[in-house]
Copies of this chain bind each other. A is one copy, B any other.
Amino acid sequence: MKNALILSALLAFGPVCFAQQTEKYPLGNYEELTDTKPHDSEEVWNKMKTPTEFSWGITDIRYKKLDVPDVKKTTRLQTKAWKGERINAQAVLWTKNDLEEATITVSELKNGSSVIPASAITTNFVRYVMTDELNKDRKGGCGHRENKAEWDSSVVADVLDIVKIQDIKARTTQPIWLNVWVPSDARAGKYKGTLTVSGKNFQAMNLQFEVNVLNRTLPAPQDWAFHLDLWQNPYSVARYYQVPLWSKEHFDAMRPIMKMLANAGQRAITTSIMHKPWAGQTEDHYDSMVTRIKKIDGTWVYDYAVFDKWVEFMMNEVGIKYLISCYTMIPWALSFDYFDQATNRVQFIEAKPGDAEYADYWGSFLKDFSRHLRAKGWFEKTAISMDERPMEAMREAIKVIKQADPEFKITLAGNYHPEIQSDLYYLSIPYGHKFPEDVKAERERKGQISTVYTCCSEAFPNTFTFSDPAEAPWTALHAIAGGYDGYLRWAVNSWTADPLRDSRFRTWAAGDTYSIYPGPRSSIRFERLVEGIQDCEKVRILRSDLKGSKLDKLNKAVSMFTPEGLSETQKSAAEMVNELNELLNSL
């Protein structure tokens, strides 16, 4: 068993072999940035009675790297899980000595003759990434922050590393993340196992853990009802992995990243149908997945090789196949690209919705696109997607779409506008905004999707690298508390220049642009978000199962995950999430 784990640990080094890897873009081990914050002195550390301590911690805390952790030492952890659920736990190791070649192993989990195999368990050294802070007014994280010196920066625990052997320096804390994905066919009962840290120059240390598998089953992620939409950025992957866009190597690099998303219940494939749909706001701009050529006779030629390859990959290899979101007909900069045969150059048309040139550029494309999508059998899954723009522009764009093919689905991530909401197959509105109840019901009846999004605007809840970990599940629970069908976030892997070491970006609070790291490496934020989505599914299932006071109790608890509920309960996100968790496992 242990040998098998070490083998898989070695295999985890596989990505190191990707072509052209440089220290600039590490895929294997790497040095973290230095934390320059005040921290526990050598004297404090030297007070440790045993040179190295190992204990269960909690998943709500980002343990500080250079401080002796405030942990009530426990070597036994008791958790509950539904069949098919993934549960998280966090252990903490801290040491006043250097530990060489530390590595983590787990045993299989046993309940009599029943076994949850070790392959269902993931362990990670938690790594530290540079973060910053909210805006000075504490009201959110939007706006430019090019001058890093103006922002209070520190390293925080977030990255769940895939490198399985680590030297642990003297006088540091090393959290360890544990995730158990309970097989959906596991028998109910209490399973016991052991988490072990061993190494070259120290005695192996064990922690015991127990998973009480309940007699309820969480469906597989592809069967979840929660409409999750975290926007993917294939361009970041090509840059970071130093592989040609849309090459086999590129898809090899994206596959495990996108599978993480599929396993989180991701519904939509993010596609870009023009150059820089968001004016290149991310470190790696999106480009057009549609080849658009203007011939010298003035006719347009379209080729969908990139679009098709990406969509087919996501559908067939990754398993995300509910929706194809196509961005965007109304970019922030109204400039539309095409390869111009006459000049042998990529040229841009400057035109706004309502202009004849805009209608020609998009109308011609959408007609051909509709034909292509129908031939592929994808038309029903595809939506022309917009971000919030002035109402008149959106109306003109919708007019062009409907002229090209009145059956095209349309989506918007933006404010709720009664004037156009009925045209929007999928509408995601900002945190704090609400659908009128009758409209929400009508949309539901018509099969239209109505979700909520957060971005840089929210001080709480958010998934910045400095956000409290429990804000991630709180956000998901808010979606069902607010009566939305799901949750949208505009970026899940729009990596910064040096994403493993530094989550700060030229705009917005750190971590805004990604919660999956290169490798791929998950994060405390991502795992806890998945936990929240699982909770939403549990709520959905329990609601259809329960009646009377139990149902009331559930609904009451869920309803607290709103701005109003938050101030009413006066609890922290962690407290609310933990209490709901407990409730969901007891009803």
Chain B: CB-nearest residue to A286: B344
**A566: interface (CB < 8 Å):** no
Taken together as a complex, chains A and B put the C-alpha atoms of A293 and B303 apart, in Å, by: 11
Chain B hits for A309, CB < 8 A: 296
Q: How far is the CB of A342 from chain B (nearest CB, A)?
A: 4
A295 lies within 8 A of chain B by Cβ: yes
CB proximity to B under 8 Å, residues A342-383: 342-346
Main secondary structure of the interface of A (DSSP, over half): loop
Question: Which residues of B are found within 8 Å of A337, using beta-carbon distances?
Answer: 344
CB–CB A275/B305 < 8 A: no
Query: Do B306 and A296 touch across chains, with their CB atoms under 8 A apart?
Result: yes
Q: Is the CB of B287 within 8 A of A343?
A: yes
Q: Could you tell me if A344 and B296 are in contact, using CB atoms closer than 8 angstroms?
A: no
The bracket for how many chain A residues form the interface is 20 to 34
In the complex, which of the residues B244, B296, B346 contacts A346, with contact meaning CB atoms closer than 8 Å?
B346
Bound CA span A344–B287, Å: 7
Given A296-B305, A296-B309, A305-B296: A246 touches B346 (CB 8 Å cut-off)? no
A297 on interface, CB distance cutoff 8 Å: yes
10 contacts between A and B (CB under 8 A): A247-B342, A287-B344, A287-B345, A296-B305, A296-B309, A297-B305, A303-B341, A306-B341, A306-B344, A337-B344
Which residues of A from 372 to 402 have beta carbons under 8 Å from B? none
A115 CB to closest chain B CB (Å) equals 45
Counting CB contacts under 8 A, is A288 at the interface? Answer: yes
Instruction: Determine the chain B residues whose CB is within 8 A of the CB of A295 once the complex forms.
Output: 303, 305
**Is the pair A344, B291 in contact by a Cβ cutoff of 8 Å?**
yes
Contact indicator B275/A245 (Cβ below 8 Å): no
Q: B245 to A342, Cβ gap below 8 A?
A: yes
Cβ contacts under 8 Å, A202 to chain B = none
Counting from the closest, the 5 A-B pairs by CB-CB distance are A245-B342, A287-B344, A246-B296, A288-B344, A246-B342
A416 at the interface (CB under 8 A from B): no
Interface residues of A in 266-323 (CB under 8 A from B): 275, 287-288, 291, 293, 295-297, 303, 305-306, 309
Is A339 interfacial (CB-CB < 8 Å)? yes
Pair A305/B341 contact, Cβ less than 8 Å: yes
Q: Considering the chains assembled together, what is the distance between the CA atoms of A306 and B342 in angstroms?
A: 7
With both beta carbons as reference points, the residue of chain B lying nearest to A290 in the complex is identified as B344
A296, B293: Cα distance in complex, Å: 16
Contacts of A245 in B (CB 8 A): 296, 342-343
- Complex Cα distance, B293 from A555, in Å, reads 58
Q: Is the CB of B244 within 8 A of A342?
A: yes
Give Cα A246–Cα B246 distance, bound, in whole angstroms: 33
A273 to chain B, nearest CB (A): 11
Q: A457: shortest Cβ distance to chain B, in Å? A: 31
Chain B residues within 8 Å of A287, by CB: 343-345
In the complex, how many angstroms separate the beta carbon of A336 from the nearest chain B beta carbon? 12
Bound Cα distance A247, B342 (Å): 9
CB neighbours (8 Å) of A244 from chain B are 342
**Shortest Cβ gap from A104 to chain B (Å):** 39
A288–B245 Cα distance when bound, in Å, is 24
Chain B residue with the shortest CB-CB distance to A250 = B342
- Across-interface contacts of A275 in B (CB, < 8 A): 344
Closest to A297 in B: B305
Q: A287-B343, A288-B344 are in contact. List 13 more A-B contacts (CB 8 A).
A: A245-B296, A245-B343, A275-B344, A287-B345, A291-B293, A291-B344, A295-B303, A297-B305, A303-B341, A306-B344, A337-B344, A339-B344, A345-B346
A449 to B297, CA, bound (A): 36
A residues 556-586 near B (Cβ < 8 Å) are none
> What is the CA–CA distance of A245 and B340 in the complex, to the nearest angstrom?
10
Q: In the complex, what residues of B have CB within 8 A of residue A247's CB?
A: 296, 342
CB distance from A423 to the nearest CB of B (A): 29
C-alpha gap A339/B288 in the complex (Å) = 13
Q: What is the bound-complex CA distance between A244 and B296, given in angstroms? A: 10
1/0 per residue A240-265: CB within 8 Å of B?
Answer: 00001111000000000000000000
Q: Which of A303, A337, A342, A346 has the most CB of B within 10 A?
A: A342
A303 contacts across to B, CB distance below 8 A: 295, 341
- Please measure, in the bound complex, the distance between the C-alpha atom of A134 and the C-alpha atom of B297, giving whole angstroms: 45
Question: In chain B, what residue has the closest Cβ to A342?
Answer: B245
CB distance from A387 to the nearest CB of B (A): 20
Nearest-CB residue, chain B, relative to A287 = B344
Q: Does A291 lie within 8 Å of B246, measured CB to CB?
A: no
Q: How far is the CA of A120 from the CA of B290 in the complex (A)?
A: 56
- Specify which of A296, A339, A346 lies most central, judged by the most chain B CB atoms within 10 Å of its CB: A296
* Shortest distance between the CB of A276 and any CB in chain B (Å): 10
A271 to chain B: closest CB distance in Å?
13
